[in-house]
Structure 1
Amino acid sequence: MSWRTPAALIPPTIAGIPAQAVSVPVAAAMLGISDRSIRRMIDSGALPARKLPTGALSIRVADLDAVGEPVGPRRG
């Protein structure tokens, strides 16, 4: 049996350098949600994105890190 790290947990790289921006499918995989959810977040303004000349959307990895609310310790 072979153990592999899920692709969503491997930071994307370009020629060995960490990617600063990713596509919608990669962003969705990184957050563990659907492409459609990423597009809804972009449409609502919750997630900034840029449209490339090809029409594809580009999302900064730093913006993905900022998605969601910080969670503190649970109270017993």
Structure 2
Amino acid sequence: MQVNLRFFASLREALGAQRQLELPEGATVAQARQTLIDLGDPYASVLAADRAVRAALNQQVCEGGAILSHGDELAFFPPVTGG
């Protein structure tokens, strides 16, 4: 299946605005992130497990266990603080 990736803020600067990713059926957000990390730099350093990165599936903030479907939009972004 294919999902559409979007990157925001500092991740966008390092990785570009968007790309598509081919994943097996039933893949999770965490598996998508790991697939990108496995591609090597710049993905490996920007999305490393020790980096604070949030995800949104079809514009809803989600956790790593969320299951992806063909055509989904998966966005990665740094945590945001406000005041």
Q: Under a length normalisation based on structure 2, what TM-score does the superposition of the two structures give?
A: 0.28
* Greater strand proportion: 2
Which protein has greater RCO, CA pairs closer than 8 Å, 6+ apart?
Answer: 2
**Which structure has the larger Rg?**
1
